[in-house]
């Protein structure tokens, strides 16, 4: 942590308290309140932790006003345009761009850990065929700790490294197997001669009855989806991983906790909500009606996939994702898919409407990623599992950073208690 060169004064009941103020390399200053309760006997109140910094981090920085997302200082649009997912994984994990030899070694280690322990396939049979893929992923990822005992000691740096590589490598296999299980098709094993995104697509869509060739345009689009969702600072699921890990839980359990949090529709389900909205609109001719509803303050309808809670300008990931969406739609066409026809026309009309332009409600990454996944043939139930595959490296990077932090303490939020004060128990006969 940086040294405090400033302080803030807090007055409570006529008594002043000096609180250290830390200045980050980017972003707002942070008031250190760690000793506030001990000195003044009060807590701070911040539901949702929207004004609270819970940790130091050197991994990801977001400037919502500028529309900027940096991984270790590298802008996300440059990484998505010039790099690929496993190189971004290396940057997030180790902090620097890899040399050619380092990247080759890292890619080799990930590729050679993509298979699951063979006994794990029996776990899938314990789920109903109509189970949501996220339900399967929460269970299977948590169960990894029962199969890989040699990488659960969080105090061993080498075991932390092995666990990190294993989870990045195995998550696509788990997600693809969950998908195959729910549609009643046989599992497809990974292949070491394919890149990360191509391997995932093959495991999802190949069948034993015929050969499957991965289209490079689809593979590139899939790689960008992974890249653009790799990490997003201290969001709900990342904070869940950090909170779980603060207790000393094994890494597989911590990532399973992150997956469970991501499952929530307010977090990982944004692109699914976008597709459901497009299906509700139904046809191109109904778009003006729904745009008018979105402008009406008295109508609860909102255009999903436009604007962003964090980015007050534009989502820096959306420009690159739009390029991929255009490439995928040109390849696969939209003639027979009314949902994709609605998506393209809605984007066009919204970007030409002064209401959305003035309020900076531009299409975000979820709008375009949902379009791409729909065009590829993924059901909406797979959108969040794919998000989990992407975000695994972010969770792992944050987990490794936290475990190595000398300031590590178990998370223990306080509360503003508004319930009953002490009262005496009355026997049931006297009530």
Whole-angstrom distance, CA of residue 202 vs CA of residue 194: 9
Count of C-beta atoms within a 10 Å radius of residue 189: 15
Q: What is d(CA 226, CA 84) in angstroms, rounded to the nearest whole number?
A: 9
∠ CA 184-188-321, nearest 5°, is: 95
Residue 366 falls in the annotated catalytic set = yes
Q: What are phi and psi of 61, to 5 degrees?
A: -130, 135
In angstroms, the Cα distances linking 390 to 36, 110, 345, 369 are: 38, 14, 28, 12
Would you tell me how many other CB atoms lie within 10 Å of the CB of residue 81?
13
State the catalytic residue, choosing from 358, 366, 405, 427.
366
Alpha-carbon span 239 to 259, nearest angstrom: 12
Q: Catalytic residue among 71, 229, 232, 308, which?
A: 308
E strand or H helix at 193, and its extent?
Answer: none
The residue whose two tokens read 């299906």 is 279
**Alpha carbon 181 to its chain's center:** 23
Tokens at residue 186, please? Answer: 């046989």
Residues 6+ apart with CB under 8 A from 199: 114, 172, 190, 191
Q: Which residues are catalytic?
A: 308, 366
């Amino acid at each position: 942590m940086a040294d405090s060169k400033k302080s803030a004064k807090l007055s409570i009941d006529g008594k002043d308290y000096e609180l250290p103020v830390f200045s980050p390399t980017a972003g707002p200053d942070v008031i250190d309140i760690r000793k506030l309760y001990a000195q003044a006997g009060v807590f701070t109140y911040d539901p949702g932790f929207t004004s609270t910094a819970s940790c130091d981090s050197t991994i990801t920085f977001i400037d919502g006003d500028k529309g900027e997302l940096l991984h270790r200082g590298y802008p996300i649009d440059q990484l998505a345009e010039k790099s690929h997912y496993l190189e971004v994984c290396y940057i997030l994990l180790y902090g620097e761009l890899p040399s050619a030899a380092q990247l080759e070694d890292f890619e080799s280690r990930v590729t050679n850990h993509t298979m699951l322990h063979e006994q794990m396939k029996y776990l899938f049979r314990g789920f109903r065929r109509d189970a949501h893929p996220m339900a399967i992923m929460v269970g299977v990822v948590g169960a990894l700790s029962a199969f890989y005992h040699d990488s659960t000691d969080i105090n061993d740096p080498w075991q932390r490294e092995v666990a990190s590589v294993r989870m990045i490598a195995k998550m696509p296999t788990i997600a693809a197997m969950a998908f195959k299980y729910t549609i009643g098709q046989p599992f497809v094993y990974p292949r070491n001669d394919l890149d990360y995104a191509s391997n995932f697509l093959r495991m999802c869509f190949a069948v034993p009855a015929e050969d499957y060739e991965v289209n490079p345009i689809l593979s590139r689009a899939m790689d960008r989806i992974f890249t653009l969702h790799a990490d997003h600072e201290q969001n709900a699921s990342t904070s869940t991983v950090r909170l779980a890990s603060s207790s000393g839980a094994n890494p597989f359990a911590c990532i399973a906790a992150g997956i469970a949090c991501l499952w929530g529709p307010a977090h990982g389900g944004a692109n699914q909500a976008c597709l459901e909205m497009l299906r509700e609109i139904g046809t191109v001719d109904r778009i003006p009606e729904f745009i008018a509803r979105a402008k009406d303050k008295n109508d609860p309808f909102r255009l999903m996939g436009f604007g962003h809670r964090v980015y007050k300008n534009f989502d820096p990931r959306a420009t690159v994702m739009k390029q991929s969406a255009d490439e995928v739609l040109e390849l696969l066409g939209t003639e027979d898919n009314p949902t994709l026809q609605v998506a393209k026309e809605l984007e066009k009309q919204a970007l030409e409407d002064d209401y959305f332009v003035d309020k900076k409600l531009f299409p975000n990454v979820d709008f375009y990623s949902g379009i791409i996944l729909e065009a590829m043939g993924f059901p909406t139930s797979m959108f969040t599992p794919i998000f989990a595959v992407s975000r695994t490296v972010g969770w792992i990077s944050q987990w490794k950073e936290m475990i190595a932090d000398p300031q590590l303490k178990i998370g223990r939020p306080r509360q503003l208690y508004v319930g009953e004060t002490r009262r005496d128990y009355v026997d049931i006969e006297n009530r």
